[in-house]
Chain A
Amino acid sequence: MSWFSPSLLALTALGTVSGIYIGAIPGLSVTMAVSILISFTFSWDVNNALALMVGVYCGGVYGGSRTAILLNIPGAPSAIATSFDGFPLAERGEAGRAIGVTTVISFIGGLIGILVLALAAPRISELALKFAPRDYLLVAIMGLLLVGSLSGESTPKGIFAGALGVVFGMVGMDPMTAQGRFTFGTIQLLGGIHFVIAMIGLFGVSEALYQLHNVHVKPIKQDVSKIVPSLAIILKYLPLSLRTSIIGVLIGALPGTGGDIAALLAYDHAKRSVKKPSRPFGEGAYEGLVAPEAANNAAVGGAYIPMLTLGIPGDAVTAVFIGALYIHGLKPGPMLMIDTPHLFWFTVGNLVLANIFMLIFGLTGIRIFAKMVELPKGILMPLIIVLSVVGTYAIQNNIVDIYYMLGFGLLGYFMKMNGFQVGPIILGIILGPLMDINYRRAIMSVDYDFSMFLKELFTNPISLIFTVAVIVMVVSQTPIWPKITGLFKRKQAQETN
């Protein structure tokens, strides 16, 4: 199918404009939207389904900046850094200009991310063909270590949620021996729990219930005027946006980091590298707006690299995307690039289209946008519940799935109320079975000799790289890491003195 077929253009446009609104409305997340969309689009042609979801993803990452600027409420985690200088700009009456600059810079960042994806992914994929099962196990572990950045206030809580997800992923028949696991002797559970049901419950229903705590908070009225920025302004901030886009795409490509971390690091980079900002950082500096927005949009292209080449999510949304690809009978990983290269280039083209639509819709329709964001939660949340019910039923046309979904929703709600994040559960559900199967294949390939398995982790060059990476990632999430980095910094300081 051509990138420019009218139905595809319409779906990408629809996805992007919906994504902008979803990303902008606090309480609605891109992860929630993509999770629900999977269930509606699984009977579609894969290209159409992906076009819609890619649009929602790109639009959503950008849309988060809107409420960060206007209300000081980041619509998405990747827009947290945007609010640091975005809201002070709105307080100065420059919201329209800030939104305009953000839109154009997000477009530039997005394109750089896609360029890197197009250049790097085929090469990484070629390398991944040489991977043994133990390497996939290690890469999956790296993906699971994403729980570190999704943990919120406590790493043990994040790991617990990830492990709980692994347990949910194990429910059903063991794919190697057909033995039942956690089925309680029932036939219904032998097929396992469909991960989309868990996703809809955890991201849709739980968030809707959580948001009911603020159901009577009145939305703030907004005032937005002319937003299209001048060419001179864009050229002024272009060098910074290019630098921070590179940061964004690199961070986005690492399994375990996403647009939120990319944006925060880019903001930090801008603070350190810009000597004379337009205003002090934190008080409405345009540099503080440009850096995170270029980075978080570039991270979208970056996150696609491990997803398409290794089948490992770069962030929570790409974890859901992997689920979507599986539903359409595709297996993300190196073989995806060989068996269906057209799908890769279709995705690249689709991302470009979504970015173009993001630019168009970002610079227009701001008045309708302001009205939509003011929609009361008392109307929005019941609609999410109905959509979650429809989405769940659509998967297997089974009413019992709706009860499972509500169960996940309640679990997610109580977890959130006690400081546990639900994102790691999804990672566990998706990566758990992948780790299980590759671990057992790796052990079988060395005749059940565990010492040989361990030896190969350190003697095979590819495995060694991943083993070291896993060790570094694990250590970086422990209290030892600041001590190690502090030691290096002190040594560097001594050398310069």
Chain B
Amino acid sequence: MKKIRRLRTGENTFVWLMLIISIAILVLAYQISGISLCAPGTFPFAAAAMMVLTLVLVLVENRKLKKPSGIKGLFDELKKATNRMMPRLIVLYVVIIFAYTIAIKPLHFFPSSFIFLLISTIYLKGTTWKKAIFITSGALVAIYLIFQFVFQVTLP
């Protein structure tokens, strides 16, 4: 017998969110050239319509699945979904990544990457400062040698 999987906490909320975005894309696609059999907007409209249709099908499919256990109301589900999809470790790490990309321009690539790799290695692995400095320096030297001399690409 086929095992029915349990719905992920917040999965339907995500699907609804995507559905709203898809409807907005459908409206934008309609604005390109209306509904026409052969125009610049034909494929965008068809693709957007397919997005809306498939998400409705996903919602129907999800109705047959077992509900996530221990959910008490919408607020509780949102809280648990946030914990599942955006645990503190990942949220903070995404913030670190964005800070790194913003710092590239004013600090330049190597200093910003050094700080990013150093913080990341300590934050994610919990290693000592000494080891982190050694790993980060080694990685950046390797990146410099490979990308400047082998790939010959412009670094940010």
Contacts and interface: CB of A to CB of B under 8 A. Distances in A.
Interface of A: 39-41, 43-44, 153-154, 156-157, 159-160, 163-164, 166-167, 170, 174, 176-177, 179, 181-182, 205, 209, 212-213, 215, 376-379, 381-383, 385-387, 389-390, 393-394, 397, 399, 402-403, 406, 410, 414, 417-419, 428, 432, 435-436, 439-440, 443-444, 448, 450
Nearest to B55: A160
Given A436-B43, A448-B38, A378 B121 contact: yes
B154 A394 contact: yes
A378 B124 contact: yes
Contact of B113 (A156, A386, A428): A386
A181 B50 contact: no
B156 A393 contact: yes
B47 A170 contact: yes
B121 A379 contact: yes
Interface string B91-121: 0011001101100110001000100110011
Given A378-B125, A386-B116, A390-B156, 13 more contacts: A163-B51, A181-B40, A213-B90, A215-B125, A379-B135, A385-B116, A386-B117, A389-B156, A417-B8, A417-B84, A432-B47, A436-B43, A439-B43
A454 B44 CA distance: 21
B20 interface: no
A182 B44 contact: yes
B153 interface: yes
Contact of A181 (B14, B41, B61): B41
Given A163-B51, A376-B125, A443 B153 contact: no
B94 A209 contact: yes
From B47, B109, B121, B127, residue with most partner A Cβ within 10 Å: B47
Contacts of A387: 143
Contacts of B1: none
B79 interface: no
A348 to B, nearest CB: 25
Contacts of B61: 154, 156
B32 interface: yes
Contacts of A393: 154-156
B37 A40 contact: no
Nearest to A433: B43
A117 B10 CA distance: 46
Interface residues of B, number: 61
- Which 7 A-B residue pairings sit nearest by Cβ, starting from the closest? A378-B125, A382-B120, A378-B124, A166-B47, A174-B40, A156-B57, A160-B54
16 contacts: A43-B153, A156-B55, A159-B54, A160-B51, A163-B51, A166-B44, A170-B43, A382-B124, A383-B117, A385-B100, A385-B116, A419-B11, A428-B47, A439-B42, A443-B38, A448-B38
Given A156-B58, A170-B43, A440-B42, A394 B153 contact: yes
B114 to A, nearest CB: 10
A471 B75 CA distance: 45
A73 B94 CA distance: 27
A205 B101 CA distance: 13
Contact of B28 (A40, A182, A417, A432): A182
Contacts of A170: 43-44, 47
A181 to B, nearest CB: 6
B70 interface: no
Contacts of B93: 209, 212
B152 A43 contact: yes
A166 B104 CA distance: 32
Given A41-B151, A378-B127, A440 B44 contact: no
B113 A379 contact: no
A250 to B, nearest CB: 29
B74 interface: no
A399 to B, nearest CB: 6
Contacts of A160: 18, 50-51, 54-55, 58
Contacts of B139: 383, 386
B11 A402 contact: no
Contacts of A205: 97
A389 B51 contact: no
A41 to B, nearest CB: 7
B66 interface: no
B104 A389 contact: yes
Contacts of A383: 117, 139
B58 A402 contact: no
